[in-house]
Amino acid sequence: MDKRRSITPFWNRLPHFFLYPLLPPALFVCAGYAILHTWLNRAGVIGWLFSLVVILVLLKYAYEVLSHTTDGHLRAPFSADVMIGGYELPFKQAAVMIAVYQMTNVIGANLGSRAALLFSALFWLALPASVIVLATTRSLLNALNPFLLIGLIRRLDWAYAGLYGLLYCLQIAWQNALGWVYSHPYSSMYSLLADGANAYYLLVMFHLMGYVIYQYHEALDFKPEGWGEADAGDSSPPELALYETFMARGDHAAAAAELQYFLKTRPHDLTRRLRLHRLIKMLDDSAALCALGRDLIADLLAGKQIRQAVEVLVDCLRVNPEFKPAHEAHYLPLAEMLKVVGDATSAVRLIHGFYQRYPDSEHLPRLYLMAAGMLFEQLHQPAQAVKILDFLQARYPGHAIQPEVRVYQKLIKGLARL
pLDDT of the chain, 418 residues: tens digit per residue: 344 445 778 888 888 888 988 888 888 888 888 888 888 777 666 666 777 888 888 888 888 888 888 877 888 876 655 555 567 778 888 888 888 888 888 888 888 888 888 888 888 888 889 888 888 777 777 788 888 888 888 888 888 999 999 988 888 888 888 888 777 776 667 778 888 888 899 899 999 998 988 888 777 766 665 443 333 344 556 677 787 777 777 788 888 888 888 888 888 888 888 888 888 888 888 898 999 999 999 998 988 888 888 889 988 998 898 999 989 999 999 998 888 777 888 899 999 999 999 999 999 999 999 899 888 887 888 889 899 999 999 999 888 888 888 888 888 877 766 5
Last residue of a domain, one of 168, 188, 215: 215
Domain assignment present for residue 315? The answer is no
Q: Is residue 402 part of a domain?
A: yes
Asked if residue 264 belongs to a domain, the reply is no
Domain for residue 173, yes or no?
Answer: yes
Centre a 10 Å sphere on the Cβ of residue 32 and count the other Cβ atoms it contains: 16
Could you give the CA distance from residue 337 to residue 349 in angstroms, rounded to a whole number?
Answer: 14
- The beta-carbon contacts of 85-89 under 8 Å, at least 24 apart in sequence, are 86/60, 87/56, 87/60, 88/138, 89/59, 89/60, 89/63, 89/134, 89/135, 89/138
- Look at residues 167, 182, 215 and tell me which one is the last residue of a structural domain: 215
Q: What is the pLDDT of residue 204?
A: 92
User: What's the number of domains the chain is made of?
Assistant: 2
What CA dihedral angle connects 412, 413, 414 and 418, to 10 degrees?
A: 100
pLDDT of residue 257: 87
| Residue 235 is assigned to a structural domain of this protein | no
The whole-number pLDDT of residue 84 equals 59
Dump pLDDT digits (tens) for 301-338: 988 888 888 889 988 998 898 999 989 999 999 998 88
Instruction: Tell me how many degrees the CA angle 292-311-350 measures, rounded to the nearest 5.
Output: 85
CA dist 344 and 321 (Å) reads 14
Answer yes or no: is 366 within a domain. Answer: yes
pLDDT attached to residue 80:
53
**Does residue 314 lie in a domain region?**
no
The pLDDT of residue 411 is 82
Range of the domain at 410: 353-418
Per-position DSSP letters for 100-120, written without gaps between them = HHHHHHHHHHHH-HHHHHHHH
Residue that terminates a domain, selected from 215, 236, 269 = 215
- The reported pLDDT for the residue numbered 367 is 93
**Residue 321 included in any domain:** no
